[in-house]
Amino acid sequence: MNKVAFIFRTPPHGSASGREGLDAALATSALNEDIGIFFIGDGVYQVLEGQDTSLILGRDYAPTFGLLDLYDVERVYVCAQSLAERGLASTQVSIVAEVLSMDAWQQHLNDYSVRLSF
C-alpha cells in the first residue's frame, strides 16, 4: 500500500482547505497505517494553541487535530523554520508532533509516494 503524506501549507481560517485536509487524513487513517502529517509555512497555524475563532464566526476545528493520536497517526511533523519565521515556539504547538529542521522535515517527506497538499 502507498505511503500517504498530508501537507498543510495554508492558514486555518479563510478557506476550508485545512478542515478538508484533516477530514481526509482521519478518513485515510482508517484504511492505511502508512500516513504522515506535515505542517509547513502558514500551515503551522493549523496547530497553534489558543485560537479564538469567535470574532470571525468561524468553526474552531484545531482541537480536532488532537484526534490524530486516537486514530493511531503517529508521524506528525512541524517545520521548525516555519515556526521561527512566524515568531512562534514549539511549545505553542497544540498537538504531539516532532518539530524538525527544514532538511529533516524534507527527508521525512521523501519517504512518501503520495503527497496531498492542503
* pLDDT at residue 10, rounded to an integer: 94
Quickly state the pLDDT bin for 13 (edges 50, 70, 90): confident
Q: With a cut of 90, say whether residue 62 has pLDDT above it.
A: no
Q: With a cut of 70, say whether residue 94 has pLDDT above it.
A: yes
Q: Provide the CATH number for the domain around residue 36.
A: 3.40.1260.10
Mean confidence (pLDDT) of the chain: 91
Alpha helices in 3-114 (DSSP H): 17-29, 67-70, 80-85, 102-109
How many domains in the chain?
Answer: 1
Q: With a cut of 90, say whether residue 56 has pLDDT above it.
A: no
Question: Does residue 85 contact residue 100 with C-beta atoms inside 8 Å?
Answer: no
* pLDDT at residue 58, rounded to an integer: 67
Which range of residues forms the domain containing residue 112? 4-117
CA distance 68 to 96: 9
Looking at per-residue confidence, does 53 or 89 come out higher? 89
Looking at per-residue confidence, does 53 or 105 come out higher? 105
Burial of 31 (0-12, 13-18, 19+ CB in 10 A): exposed
Question: Does residue 114 contact residue 5 with C-beta atoms inside 8 Å?
Answer: yes
